[in-house]
Amino acid sequence: MAIPVQTFIDRLTETHRVVILGGLAVIAHGYSRHTQDADIWLDPLATPEEWADVLRKARGEFPQTTIHRLPKWTEVSDSDIAAAAEETGMVRILGLHCPLDVFRRPNEFKELGFEEVVGRARKNSDGTYLPSPLDLIQSKLDTGRDKDYKDTRTSNTSSPWSVPNTKNVCRWRIWRTRRKCSGATRNGRCC
């Protein structure tokens, strides 16, 4: 019987900060949809090796799990976790009830640091952090994937997750990055 992914996440949150990303965060913000995996941002710590040690220790408590890297989700040994995470910014853990993508450096948050995202996040009762709606929207728009852009376009306008148009996101991004934007968008991104 597969271990629930939440059990693994709970183990990580006992000693480290974890930000929920992806579909789980979208659902937590009130948008009803399914997800096939779980995405988290584990506190990046000072070095890739320290970060990998956290995963090695947690994985040691769940021997049925394996750790994989891109491309093609190739299994990596414990000694290669840090290198795999440095190369792609994340690793995938299999052997739980669904795949768990653990990020050290999410490519969607190039302009943001872990501390800034945690500072704007809401701490959940399970010890994880839920990113602010705007941080989550930014993470979805910056992937360039249709399914992520669709997540930002919900018809439930009363939800804190919904965004009536991408100009609001553009304005927020300008404020944050202090770069000029005409307010025009292409595929949900500031031009």
Task: Determine the structural domain holding residue 186 and report its residue range.
Answer: 5-190
Distances from the Cα of 115 to the Cα of 119, 127, 136, 144, 164, angstroms = 6, 16, 15, 24, 28
CATH assignment at residue 182: 3.30.460
pLDDT-based confidence at 106, cuts 50/70/90?
A: confident
d(C-alpha 42, C-alpha 105), whole Å: 9
CA neighbor of 41 nearest in space, from 125, 156, 134, 135: 135
* Tally of structural domains, the chain: 1
Q: Which residue has the higher pLDDT, 85 or 188?
A: 85
CA neighbor of 38 nearest in space, from 51, 52, 28: 28
Report the sign of the C-alpha dihedral through residues 69, 72, 75, 80, in that order.
negative
What separation, in Å, do the N-terminal and C-terminal C-alpha atoms of the chain show? 49
d(C-alpha 177, C-alpha 145), whole Å: 22
By CB neighbour count within 10 A (0-12 exposed, 13-18 middle, 19+ buried), where does 77 fall? exposed
pLDDT-based confidence at 158, cuts 50/70/90?
A: very low
Average pLDDT over residues 96-123: 87
Residue 68 tokens read as 């994989």
Q: What is the pLDDT of residue 155?
A: 37
Q: Taking all residues of the chain, what is their mean pLDDT, rounded to a whole number?
A: 80
Q: List CB contacts of 121: < 8 A, sequence separation 6 or more.
A: 19, 129, 130, 131, 132, 135
**The model's pTM:** 0.79
∠ CA(114), CA(28), CA(33), 5° rounding?
A: 120
Q: What is the pLDDT of residue 175?
A: 39
Average pLDDT over residues 165-171: 43
d(C-alpha 65, C-alpha 67), whole Å: 7
